[in-house]
């Protein structure tokens, strides 16, 4: 643990020198003759403890104590007074002083007071370290090593460095947009603050405003007697996650925009302006730009929300992550159902890889959970996946080919060889451009890259 740091604020040089000499072996000490000098230094780097004389020239010690607590409530302050003036001491203790010492200073008494204060500080730091470690260890994360999801997590790490930059998360339903939002929160400076969520599609539009901004007593029929804090207030110092933000009414959009512009809002039925600092992270699976063109979503709000945009790839765009995610759910759910599955059968893994995951990760979890209930193990067979759904005809430049496929020969065919053939042909036609080749085959870029990695003989074409 870092050595404790102490400020000594006293206009008597002999006291500054004497106390500093007595403490410098065990602590980092800075001395100041005036409160103004100490406050200037406090704003740059707060110490653990301040020894503060009451009778200072210029700003008094009592006034300085108030300023100190405004800057940092965590700093402990021991008041030094020239005589035991009980009213002043009581006032200082009510303002948050930790202890007081009477002049002339007796070093033994001062050491005891400082020792007790440092014990309190040490305990606080240990508790904070434990809380931070617990939060970091339990921080949500994505399972998978695909380039697609690694790109998302790199962006999350960069974005999280800011405590309040708005972020919008785009992606299909079930891809894990809330998981991305919580990962941003728990890696940010606000990680000890609350993470508050609101599904805008699940709340009736007429109630959204009161849910977001709260209401005062008597604001409407049936309002709680004492009023209610809205989710914006509850998320103060943390993160407010607005899921399905495209479902906000235009009226609610206007009020959200005003809050994003200056951090100020009014409760429903209230006249007192409130202010709170929180990061707003939003998510949607809708095309907000198309909604803007149709007059259903405010363009100015879109640009406020979308300072940073993160797109979460669908499960079909990261096929190499499907089996690892399934195994993660297998382990997670084994304890819940008290079943001892050792893994997923090879045939089951193959079915997972070729299943069209329209519901993304949410659907995958449901499949694993349902299979665990119906099967006994030791390996998960995934027999309840049912027949594979057929994909739409491949498209070239977004237009269906309309090709008529020949019937399956009686002797069968080598599907893997056929796939290798067409991947090779697509790469040749695209002159090694993987994105264009993927487009020619009607595949996502990430799916194409995954298949190409498993065909090393085609690497020289890419």
Q: What's the CATH number of domain 4-134, 3.40.50.2300, 3.40.190.10, 3.30.465.10, 3.30.300.180?
A: 3.40.50.2300
Name every residue whose Cβ is closer than 8 Å to that of residue 446 and which is 6 or more positions away in sequence.
Answer: 146, 147, 148, 313, 317, 318, 319
> Does domain 395-404+411-461 match CATH 1.10.260?
no
pTM over 0.85: no
Can you list the residues of the chain whose pLDDT is less than 50?
386-403, 462
What pLDDT, on the 0 to 100 scale, is given for residue 204? Answer: 82
What pLDDT, on the 0 to 100 scale, is given for residue 177? Answer: 93
Which CATH architecture describes the domain 147-311?
3-Layer(aba) Sandwich (3.40)
What pLDDT, on the 0 to 100 scale, is given for residue 34? Answer: 93
What pLDDT, on the 0 to 100 scale, is given for residue 311? Answer: 94
- CATH fold, domain 315-385, is Helicase, Ruva Protein; domain 3 (1.10.8)
What pLDDT, on the 0 to 100 scale, is given for residue 380? Answer: 83
């Amino acid at each position: 643990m870092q050595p404790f740091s102490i400020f000594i604020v006293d206009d008597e040089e002999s006291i500054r020198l004497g106390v500093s000499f007595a403490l410098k072996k065990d602590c980092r000490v800075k001395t100041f003759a005036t409160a103004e000098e100490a406050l200037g230094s406090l704003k740059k780097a707060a110490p653990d403890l301040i020894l503060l004389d009451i009778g200072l020239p210029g700003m008094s010690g009592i006034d300085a104590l108030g300023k100190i607590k405004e800057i940092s409530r965590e700093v402990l302050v021991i008041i030094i007074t020239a005589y035991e003036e009980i009213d002043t001491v009581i006032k200082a203790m009510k303002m948050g002083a930790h202890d007081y010492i009477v002049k002339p200073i007796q070093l033994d008494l001062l050491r005891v007071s400082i020792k007790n204060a440092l014990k309190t500080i040490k305990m606080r730091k240990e508790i904070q370290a434990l809380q931070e470690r617990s939060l970091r260890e339990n921080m949500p994360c994505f399972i998978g090593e695909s380039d697609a999801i690694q790109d998302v997590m790199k962006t999350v790490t960069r974005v999280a460095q800011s405590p309040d930059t708005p972020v919008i998360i785009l992606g299909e339903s079930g891809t894990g947009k809330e998981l991305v939002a919580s990962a941003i929160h728990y890696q940010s400076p606000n990680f000890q603050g609350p993470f508050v969520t609101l599904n805008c599609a699940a709340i009736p539009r007429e109630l959204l405003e009161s849910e977001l901004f709260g209401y005062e007593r008597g604001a409407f029929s049936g309002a709680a007697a004492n009023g209610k804090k809205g989710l914006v207030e509850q998320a103060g110092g943390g993160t407010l996650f607005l899921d399905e933000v495209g479902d906000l009414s235009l009226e609610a959009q206007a009020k959200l925009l005003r809050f994003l512009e200056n951090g100020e809002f009014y409760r429903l039925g209230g006249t007192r302006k409130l202010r709170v600092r929180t990061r707003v992270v939003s998510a949607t699976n809708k095309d907000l730009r198309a909604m803007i063109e149709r007059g259903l979503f405010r363009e100015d709000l879109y640009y406020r929300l979308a300072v940073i945009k993160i797109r979460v790839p669908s499960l079909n765009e990261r096929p190499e992550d499907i089996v690892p995610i399934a195994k993660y759910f297998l382990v997670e759910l084994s304890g819940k159902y008290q079943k001892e599955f050792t893994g997923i059968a090879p045939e089951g893994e193959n079915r997972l890889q070729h299943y069209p995951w329209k519901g993304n990760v949410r659907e995958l979890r449901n499949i694993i959970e349902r299979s665990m209930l119906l099967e006994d193990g030791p390996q998960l067979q995934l027999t309840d996946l049912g027949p594979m759904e057929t994909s739409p005809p491949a498209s070239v430049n977004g237009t269906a080919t309309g090709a008529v496929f020949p019937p399956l020969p009686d002797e069968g065919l080598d599907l893997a060889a056929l796939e290798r053939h067409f991947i090779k042909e697509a790469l040749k036609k695209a002159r090694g451009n993987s994105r264009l080749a993927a487009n020619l085959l009607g595949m996502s870029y990430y799916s194409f890259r995954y298949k190409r990695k498993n065909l090393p003989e085609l690497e020289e074409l890419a």
